[in-house]
Amino acid sequence: MAIFRKHIINPANGKSRDRYHNLQKLLESLCLRRTRSKLGLPEPAMETIRLTFSDSEAEAYAYLGRNWRRTIDMAVSGRNNKKVNQSILQCLMKMRIFCNNGQDTSTSSTSALGFPSNPEEALSLLQTSGEAKCEYCQCDILSLGQTGGPTSGILTICHHLICGECLPQYQADLQDTLMNGKARCPCCGHEGSIAHFPGNAASDDEISRENAFFSTKVQAVVRKLEGQAPEDKR
């Protein structure tokens, strides 16, 4: 420990330009997986493939953008710099996850990206963030399960609150998009079995199997791999 402190810790705590030199040398000898020069790997061949979102992905991406712009605007109006920074970082993270993995990881289940699978917990989270409002009329939602008035309603599988008064219109809009037993959410474009939209009519695993979906990016990677010769897959 004395030798480690003398040659690694003490120099790193200094102010010289090369204060991390010894630490870098030590890590180079230990972390061979991170040191390409030690492994003699060939230089990678870079290829950029420009992709275009599907219609449902484009709609879901636009919804994410609108939702996070509203969140950031609310944080800015409150003059809370910490909350602003947190909102921006969360926005960037979720946008990156969406672009990497596709619509299924952003909107396919109520537990995606940390959103509570329990409806009451989800409502509590939305109330805390000031977003417990009907997606149609923007009235405040105070409870779930009762669909006879404007203060109670349902939570859809794609995280929208719909009050009891707007529920018939929401269901009618779903019916308008119905095709082969599947419908598309009129709020964000999420596609799935029409029976699963109003609340948790199915488990997350059932919804995941029902809405098996591969993003444009994953499909492009698969097509690229299929076009490679066997000797290229080393």
- 71 and 104 within one domain: yes
pLDDT per residue as tens digits for the range 76-125: 776 666 667 777 777 787 777 777 766 544 343 334 444 666 777 778 77
DSSP code per residue over the chain: -HHHIIIIIHHHTS-STTTTHHHHHHHHHH-GGG-HHHHTPPPP----------HHHHHHHHHHHHHHHHHHHHHHHTT-HHHHHHHHHHHHHHHHHHHHH-HHHHHS-TTGGG--SSHHHHHHHHHHTT--BBTTT-PBP-EES--SSTTEEEEBTTS-EEETTTHHHHHHHHHHT-BTTEEE-TTT--EEEGGGSBS-SS-HHHHHHHT----HHHHHHHHHHHTS-GGG--
Query: What's the burial of 102, exposed, middle or buried (CB within 10 Å: 0-12/13-18/19+)?
Result: buried
- 124 and 13 within one domain: no
44 falls within a domain: no
- 137 and 96 within one domain: yes
Q: Whose CA is closest to 162, among 193, 137, 180, 179?
A: 137
Strand partners, 156: 198
* Pairing relationship of beta strands 143-144 and 152-155 according to DSSP bridges: parallel
User: What's the predicted TM-score (pTM) here?
Assistant: 0.41
> Which pLDDT belongs to residue 208?
47
- 184 and 99 within one domain: yes
As given in the structure block, the two tokens for residue 68 are 């996070």
8 falls within a domain: yes
Assess contact for 153 and 167: CB atoms under 8 A: yes
222 falls within a domain: no
For residue 41, how far is the Cα from the chain centroid? 34
Q: State how many domains the chain has.
A: 2
- 155 and 71 within one domain: yes
φ and ψ of 33, to 5 deg: -65, -25
Buried b (16+ CB within 10 A) or exposed e, 170-181: bbebbeeeeeee
Buried b (16+ CB within 10 A) or exposed e, 116-128: eeeeeebbebbee
- 25 and 74 within one domain: no
Averages of pLDDT over runs of 10 residues in the chain (234 residues) are 86 86 85 65 82 83 81 72 72 77 47 58 76 88 78 84 88 86 82 68 45 73 82 60
Residue range(s) defining the domain that contains residue 81? 55-213
Separation of alpha carbons 81 and 63, rounded Å: 24
- 73 and 27 within one domain: no
> Which pLDDT belongs to residue 214?
74
233 falls within a domain: no
Q: Whose CA is closest to 93, among 73, 112, 111, 113?
A: 113
> Which pLDDT belongs to residue 32?
61
